[in-house]
Structure 1
Amino acid sequence: MGLEGMPMSIAKPWIASYPPETAPSLEYPRVPLTYFLEQAAADFPERNALFFMGKRIAYRELLTMSYQFANALIKRGVKKGDRVAIMLPNCPQAVISYYGALFAGATVVMTNPLYTERELIHQLHDSGAETIIALDLLYKRVAGVRPSTPLKRLIITSIGDFLPTVKRWIYPFVQKKQGHNPQITYGSDVEAFLSVLKESAVTPVSPDIDPEHDLALLQYTGGTTGVAKGVMLTHKNLIANTIQCQAVLYKTKRGTERILGALPLFHVYGMTTVMNQGISIAAELILVPKFNVKEILSLIDKKKPTLFPGAPTMYIGLINHPDLPKYDLKSIEACVSGSAALPVEVQTRFEELTGGKLVEGYGLTEASPVTHSNPIWGKRRNGSIGLPWPDTDCRIIDPATGEELPQGEIGELAVKGPQVMTGYWNRPEETAAVLRDGWLLTGDMAYMDEDGYFYIVDRKKDMIIAGGFNIYPREVEEVLFEHPAIQEAAVIGVPDPYRGETVKAFVVFKEGQQVAESELEQYCRQRLAAYKIPRQYEVRSELPKTIVGKVLRRQLQEEDKARREQHEQEKTS
């Protein structure tokens, strides 16, 4: 029996493992995503919505500015369903633009500020966005690609626009000192964010939205699987994932929490767990435009955030910082880690330092993004991504036949739930390849234990086949992570004349530590089957990562391949 004919009555063992406070099924209001902001402003008008480098913006102000921005967009011809691109780091303008675009009935296209011209042209061309809100530092890049895209209007802002008064005066001098002096030619189609905002009406805007079918977001996947695709997420998808998030974080109280917004909002993980979830519980969002370990430690010490969604690399950076003892991190009550595997010793050390809970979760852009996490205040399992979230159904299937596999067997993880995308923008064939009757094929190899906890073994395409044996990089990486001298590790398959492929490990040592290859081999030999032991090692000062801290194994593979090819050429020349 394939996915299409799968009966829904099959037991869901994970439900018995839920904490009593989390219901297995939830109510989702039929409202646009903007509803959360309107409710927060109605219930907590004077509470801080945003804190940004000393600047505070209350919920009433945030809602007013979002209405103003919506009115500005409508006046400039933005209609329901039009795509509006936002290319900003974490700053108040990113939140105002996001909700303003949604109030105008538009579909937001979150755009990574680190995109190269090639990536930017692809995304703007593919999405058909005619409006972009961008940082002044990115103006040259955006203006450069404009002739190759449908862009008609640019709205340009500066980090200085929302700084406290004194900092705002100083900011242009700081920019010049750092060699940043953006020259912007303003006109009818290139406008300044603040002037657009100030000249616009504060009248409330209420678009006619069908939450189930109207798109709130086109979120482009990172392109690690080839060309980046626009994931179509409806208002309902994002509302559902936010409410699921509330149900899992059941100890949070509306109007009292403070969320450290270090995850980028232009990535769907930060957008849901920081912005949408934060605003839905009227939390104060502490916006961090760039992750700097020392600044984060100081911010936690001063601003006392209670929630800190993040990625393993963030927590690794904090617990290994030499100045750590100078800072108080005890305000943190809960963290869900995503985007990569969370090493057990990182979890343990972070919890010792904060007294809070840090658990591993799992998601993907195509699911808004979260589908699983370990219970934060309940029973969790090390190495597991935890339990499916409420209303999320999961199966482990045979990648070749689509047959459901028995508990304990490794296969491809398939998920179904209200947070799953409607498909890829303008790509029906690619949609059909991963969406089968509402089931999303994740491309991740996993298994489920008897209590309904799921374990990711690895990406389907990252699996190494050495001498006929299947080797999952994540397992080898977990072992290397446990070595006291290793801060980070990544494992890839490289060609081997005898085994077909063999295991190569890239390691980053902790500051001041170094270990011989022979010692690492001995260490792995005690913990891994012989065929899984790395045969090659490369020491790095850092590993290439995505913006949310996921190690780019593909880049390591490409670099390794290029080095081998160069070596071959040198041998033959």
Structure 2
Amino acid sequence: MSVYDERPWLDRYGQQPPEIEPAHRNALAMFRAGLAQEPDGVAVRYFDGVLTRAELDAQSDALASGLLAHGVAPGDRVAAYLQNVPQFLVVLLAAWKAGAVMVSVNPMSRARELTYLLEDSGARVLVSLESLYDEVARDVVPGSAVELVLTTSELEHQTRHDPRLFAGTERQRHEGTTDLAAFIDAHRGQVPPPVTLGPEDVAFLTYTSGTTGVPKGAMNTHGNVVFTATVYRDWARFRPGGSVFGIAPLFHITGLIGHIAVSFLAPMPLVLAYRFEPAVVLDALAEHRPTCTIGAITAFNALLNHPDFTSDHFSSLTSVYSGGAAISPTAEKRFLEATGLQVHNAYGLTETTSPMTLTPFGTPSPVDPVSGALSVGVPVPSTVVRVLGDDGHDVPLGEVGEIVAEGPQVVAGYWGKPRETEASLPGRSLRSGDVGFMNDDGWIFIVDRKKDMINASGYKVWPREVEDVLAEHPAVRESAVVGVPDEKRGETVKAFVSLHAGREATPEELIEHCRERMAAYKYPRQVVVIDELPKTVTGKILRRELRGS
């Protein structure tokens, strides 16, 4: 059966389960342990700005005291509508110190999306960038439950403003809002009363992408956060003495755990660069010399393809992980050739508080000889991963089914949605919606999203397999494969492809490339070459936006 037992694997590769310190009953205690260890240590580097752990503690104390004075009570929600700025960490810690729950809001959210998130979460406080308040939130807040709006600027905590990101950016004051820095200064020196947070208390709400309905607020608990941060520290080797580069958005579960939480735990500095702009990121890597990071392979590819890239940009890194988007064996090889580093795979969802499987540090992921898929790793310790058939029973090893996970990282449920919780998280066992298989050694291979399967003349075609074959063509930078209606076949395979700069390939050439390498029912009958594929802010390609193209 496709049920993973970690013990033989741990013995074979010399890995140990993550070691969770008894004092770390919640994520706030995790931060405070790092603070006690090195109070003057750097918590955040943001361009030329530095925030120490002691100052981060003092600012979050003041903000928490102010929130409590304004009536925020334990369990209330505080929404953060921010880019990758130091204030994100201040808000997160302050929410915890007030006994509140932080609501993580995608800064790309527009009025309709922000309206839904504020309404669904019932947030009483909104902390927003001034620019986002001006563009979006000012029209949304009046109809919401928000009682206090604190605004801040991306120009805070730095003096050298990069013209590539901040040209023309000025401070903006808006009626009905309070400046975050002034609010903190007004409560400077105040310390909130002790708060009791248990492992099952919700640390933050992270909203799913809503690809199969409205977004749902996953209730990531303090116990979830502590466990997965420890996995990154111990298994991925995000260790003290180095620093972690925040290439993923902080609002996303990867950024919340693989950047913020592990930087609290290690402890080590977190390097931020506002948002992903390849040239700016390359300069930040060269300036700050981080030792570890995790991001989407699409982001890494953008760096490798930038004209300013050299292998020296990655020379300080010792541990590089990728999650959020599938990696092809070709992409893994190109990364190794370009940087000299092994990019390790990680796989998880919002509902698993980041990783549920991981390629242990220093161990290359195997490639399945039949499908050509690169493994996403083995289940992390204390985690049970199963592969289930349509009948709900375990399938034999090597057979394809839905990936299901149970473990300390699985969320308690969806905020205010008991029916959806029971459907996707029955008994706190996550039905991932991803289809894959497990080999004899416990390695997990993801085939695709269950809903993306193409039925061509009665044959199953998984887009991921076609995309991996397209990736082998030297001109192809990225691809996305979807099923489109076809009178004869029911559905047929259509590929959207973007090319490397300076390379050329015709649709006919790409179709022939696939036809020579795949069964007749699998290769794409239609190929469209476009400049850029649509993506989420975390780098996932949006197939749904291509289906009607």
| TM-score class, shorter | over 0.9
Q: Tell me the residue number matched to 1:570.
A: none
Q: 1:525 to 1:512 in 2, by over 3 A?
A: same
The Cα offsets for residues 64-94 of structure 1, whole Å up to 9 and x where unpaired, read as 1111111111111111000000000011111
Which is further off, 111-120 or 296-305?
296-305
Pair 1:85 & 2:79 matched: yes
The residue correspondences of 1:535-550 to structure 2 (distance < 5 A) are 535-550=525-540
The answer for the alignment partner of 2:143 in structure 1 is 148
Describe the shift of the 1:357–1:68 C-alpha distance in structure 2 as closer, same or farther (beyond 3 A).
farther
1:511 is aligned to 2:505: no
Q: Cα–Cα, structure 1 residues 63 and 388, in superposed 2: closer, same or farther, change >3 Å?
A: same
Find 2:210's aligned residue among 194, 199, 223.
223
| Shift of residue 292, structure 1, vs aligned partner | 1.3
Q: CA deviation at 1:344?
A: 2.0
**Aligned counterparts of 1:15 and 1:385: Cα–Cα separation in 2:** 19
Q: Which residue of 2 aligns with 1:239?
A: 226
Matches of 1:409 and 1:523, distance apart in 2: 27
Is residue 2:439 matched to residue 1:439? no
Following superposition, the deviation at residue 197 of structure 1 comes to 0.8
Superposition map of 1:1-400 within 5 A: 12-18=4-10, 20-24=13-17, 26-27=19-20, 29=22, 31-140=25-134, 141-164=136-159, 167=161, 178=168, 183-187=172-176, 190-205=177-192, 207-250=194-237, 252-254=238-240, 256-325=241-310, 327-382=312-367, 383-399=374-390
Query: What is the letter of the counterpart of residue 202 of structure 2?
Result: L
Distance 2:53 2:425 in 1: 38
Q: Any conservation in 1 of the 2:344–2:364 contact (CA below 8 Å)?
A: no
Q: Is the 8 A contact 1:259 1:306 kept in 2?
A: yes
Q: CA deviation at 1:113?
A: 1.2
Match of 2:541 in 1: 551
Q: Which 10-residue stretch deviates more, 289-298 or 475-484? A: 289-298
Q: Give the deviation of 1:328 after TM superposition.
A: 3.7
Q: Report the secondary structure of 2:405's partner residue.
A: strand
Contact 1:139 1:184 in 2 (8 A): no
Q: Report the CA distance between 1:380 and its aligned residue.
A: 2.3
Structure 1 unaligned residues grouped into runs of 5+? 1-5, 561-573
Q: Do 2:63 and 2:91's aligned partners in 1 also have CA atoms closer than 8 Å? A: yes
Of 23-32 and 70-79, the range deviating more from structure 2: 23-32
Question: Aligned ranges for residues 455-474 of structure 1 at < 5 Å?
Answer: 455-474=445-464
- Please list, as runs of the form range in 1=range in 2, the aligned pairs for 1:459-498 lying within 5 A after superposition: 459-498=449-488
Deviations 1:445-498 (A, max 9, x none): 110000000001111100001111011000100110111000000000000101
3-state SS of the aligned residue for 2:244? strand
TM-score (norm 2): 0.94
Matched letter for residue 226 of structure 2: I
Q: Which segment is superposed worse, 345-354 or 221-230?
A: 345-354
More moved, 68-77 vs 494-503: 68-77
Count of residue pairs brought into register by the alignment: 540
CA distances 1:80-138 after superposition (whole Å, capped 9, x unpaired) = 00000000001111111111111111000011111110000100001000100000001
Counterpart code for 1:16? P
In structure 2, C-alpha distance between the alignment counterparts of 1:329 and 1:98, rounded to whole Å: 30
Residues 369/329 of structure 1: CA separation in 2 closer, same or farther (3 Å cut): closer
Distance in 2 separating the partners of 1:311 and 1:124: 27
Q: SS state of the match for residue 423, structure 2? A: helix
Q: 2:331 touches 2:471 (CA, 8 Å); kept in 1?
A: no
- Which blocks of at least 5 consecutive residues in structure 2 are unaligned? 368-373
Deviates more, 1:275-284 or 1:488-497: 275-284
CA drift at 1:206: 5.4
| Amino acid across the alignment from 2:385 | C
Identity, % of aligned pairs?
36
CA separation of 1:11 and 1:478: change in aligned 2, threshold 3 A: closer
